[in-house]
């Protein structure tokens, strides 16, 4: 069973699917969606900058600094956070090329799992967004389901079928290519739907 809000079909999905968009596509789609939310004052959610260790900076002009040596750092938190309907919201997003499973342990760092657990203890709305590019499906999975799987893992990958049972298929429009707040409304704010 796939959780899907309002029984709507993904009628727009075909329009924006082609192989060239893969890889960075999910990040681009989430950024587009976040700008939509921001412009309409629905939510204030931003991607954090990529953490970089800066080693050397040149000043070819007085006013213009050029970084000439730097290295990527392992992130200590998730990539996205912000505020929605008065609540702190926090999530990590990953694209997955496999048809059969999501490689949780090789994709998500242990301190990102600890971070999700910490923000949940403090009352956050926390989740992961995972896109199976081969299936052209993007799921929201509440963070507690991911951390429970992680902590009790018999295997290092989550089977694709697990997402249909534990996740929610995120609807999309052209303006909101990953309209995850529709799902957040349903599972975190709808009295019928569930929690808090």
Would you state the structure tokens that stand for residue 2, as one six-digit string? 């796939």
Q: Interface with a copy of itself by CB under 8 A: which range of 3-11, 101-109, 122-130, 185-193?
A: 122-130
Q: Interface with a copy of itself by CB under 8 A: which range of 4-12, 41-49, 146-154, 161-169?
A: 41-49
Task: Give the three-class secondary structure for 31.
Answer: helix
Give the x/- contact pattern for a copy of itself in 79-118, rule: CB under 8 A: --xxxxxxxxxx------------------------x--x
* Main-chain dihedrals φ then ψ at residue 64, nearest 5 degrees: -125, 110
Work out whether 54 is an interface residue with a copy of itself (CB under 8 A). yes
Q: Which of 25, 26, 43, 93 binds a copy of itself (CB under 8 A)?
A: 43
Q: How many CB atoms lie within 10 A of CB 68?
A: 11
99 to 17, 44, 74, 94, 131: CA distances (angstroms): 16, 33, 27, 14, 11
167 to 118, 131, 185: CA distances (angstroms): 21, 11, 14
DSSP summary character for residue 50? P
CB of 164 to a copy of itself, least distance (A): 30
Tell me whether residue 82 or residue 103 sits nearer to a copy of itself (CB atom): 82
Chain residues that interact with a copy of itself, rule: CB under 8 A: 38, 41, 43-44, 46, 48-52, 54, 64-73, 76-77, 81-90, 115, 118-119, 121-124
């Amino acid at each position: 069973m796939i959780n899907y809000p309002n029984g709507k079909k993904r009628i727009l999905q075909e329009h924006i699917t082609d192989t060239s968009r893969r890889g960075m596509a999910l990040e681009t789609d989430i950024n587009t969606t976040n700008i939509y939310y921001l412009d309409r004052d629905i939510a204030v959610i931003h991607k954090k900058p990529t953490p970089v260790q800066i080693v050397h900076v040149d000043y070819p002009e007085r006013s213009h600094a050029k970084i000439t040596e730097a290295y990527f750092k392992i992130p200590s938190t998730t990539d996205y956070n912000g505020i929605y309907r008065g609540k702190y919201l926090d999530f990590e997003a990953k694209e997955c090329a496999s048809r059969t499973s999501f490689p949780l342990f090789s994709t998500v760092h242990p301190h990102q799992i600890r971070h999700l657990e910490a923000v949940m203890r403090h009352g956050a709305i926390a989740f992961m967004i995972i896109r199976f590019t081969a299936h052209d499906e993007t799921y929201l999975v509440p963070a507690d389901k991911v951390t429970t799987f992680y902590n009790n893992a018999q295997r290092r990958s989550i089977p694709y079928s697990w997402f249909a049972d534990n996740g929610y298929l995120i609807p999309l429009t052209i303006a909101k290519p990953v309209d995850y707040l529709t799902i957040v409304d349903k599972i975190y704010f709808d009295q019928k739907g569930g929690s808090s």
